[in-house]
Amino acid sequence: MGFDLNRVWQDPSPWAHPELFATKSQVLNLDKDPTFDLDFYIDIHAHSTMMNGFMYGNIYEDSNRYERQAIFPKLLCSNADDFSMSNTSFNRDAVKAGTGRRTLGGSLDEKCHCYTLEVSFFSYQPSGFNHPIPYTEEEYMKLGRNLARTFLDYYKLQNYIVFNPSAAIMPKLNNSAGFTSYRSSSILTNTSANGALLGGNNLNGKGKRSSSNNGQQLKPICSSSMSINNGHSSSSMSNGSQSNNMPNSANESKPKFFVDNGLE
């Protein structure tokens, strides 16, 4: 019908935009469900002009919320050599008001982080490389695994996941030398959701690349700043030490995710 489906999230029509209408209703219902914690909404897109993977986020008046949302992209940058923090930006441009990220960012609970994840149609260029590397199906899948790995890292920081070294994977220590041996334990988490399932047994997506990189070691594209645009002026946020303004979620219920595939 000629609609840009990522510009009508504010008031989707059940007859003209049935997919958006159903998705928005589902997300809002999950947000109101007292038995369900919605921590992330991620809209996944392909970008036709820029290289690498990167994120768009929102600008909020609450400075603590604004700083908290910068943590996840930084963690993703440390896990994925094709993710660019310099291309990552936080904005409230008027032309993006009808996107899923902007609309739901203003409608969902303040602890829910809303992002757009953009990935190039064509290629990425890791730090230290003077030429782009074409994306393949496997490269896209690896970014997905690194996204899941980043959720693991994030929830470890939030104390959702309790990790103790397991005797099954740790070497036995010599008790006679005065050391205490490790107790067997497990990682406790629940990453299931009505919207999507993020996770799996293989969370290490940073496998070795083929010889096409000429023996160079891939490095994450973590620059010293990321773009912040409030629609009127531009400034930068330092990519230095991690903020300590993260909420303590140790006593909250299990994490949930909602992932949408669309176009921004």
Catalytic residues: 118
Work out the angle at residue 134's Cα, subtended by the Cα atoms of residues 201 and 212, and round it to the nearest 5 degrees: 80
Closest CA to 226 of 126, 93, 86, 119: 86
Query: Which amino acid, residue 40?
Result: F
Distance, CA of 251 to CA of 183 (rounded, Å): 24
Look up residue 185 and give its two tokens.
């334990």
- H or E element in which residue 229 lies: strand 225-229
Burial class for 92, CB neighbours closer than 10 Å (0-12, 13-18, 19+): middle
Q: Are 239 and 67 in contact (CB under 8 A)?
A: no
Q: How far apart are the first and last CA of the chain?
A: 18
Distance, CA of 138 to CA of 144 (rounded, Å): 10
- H or E element in which residue 68 lies: helix 63-68
